[in-house]
Amino acid sequence: EADIYQTPRYLVIGTGKKITLECSQTMGHDKMYWYQQDPGMELHLIHYSYGVNSTEKGDLSSESTVSRIRTEHFPLTLESARPSHTSQYLCASSELRDAGNEKLFFGSGTQLSVL
């Protein structure tokens, strides 16, 4: 089983608050990802990182930011939460076998509700 952890599991917060969603993995994977998923919809890639101090924006524009100071840690921050940020946020890391050959491991997700 994958050792990738997301906290909190659920978060209800008021508009304008700053929040940080935590994601940690103990597998030593260099690559990590953040996806956003609304109920019944597909996953949208919002950020990814291919190593320490290297981050890229995904295909879905997001007001969130990420950092990668340590290999095992990939937090996502919203400076000022809004109701439109209400969604499930899924973190993943990948085991790189070869170029084009990766296996993604997902955390359980954070369900964010902004009131």
Site for other proteins, rule CB under 8 A: 31, 33, 35, 42-45, 48, 50, 54, 56, 58-59, 88, 90, 92, 94, 98-109, 111
| Smallest distance from other proteins to CB 2, Å | 9
Residue (17 or 50) nearer to other proteins, CB: 50
Long-range contacts made by residues 30-33, C-beta under 8 angstroms, separation at least 24? Answer: 30/71, 30/96, 31/93, 31/94, 31/96, 31/102, 32/68, 32/74, 32/91, 32/92, 32/93, 32/94, 33/58, 33/91, 33/92, 33/93, 33/94, 33/104
Judged by beta carbon, residue 47 or residue 85, the one nearer other proteins is 47
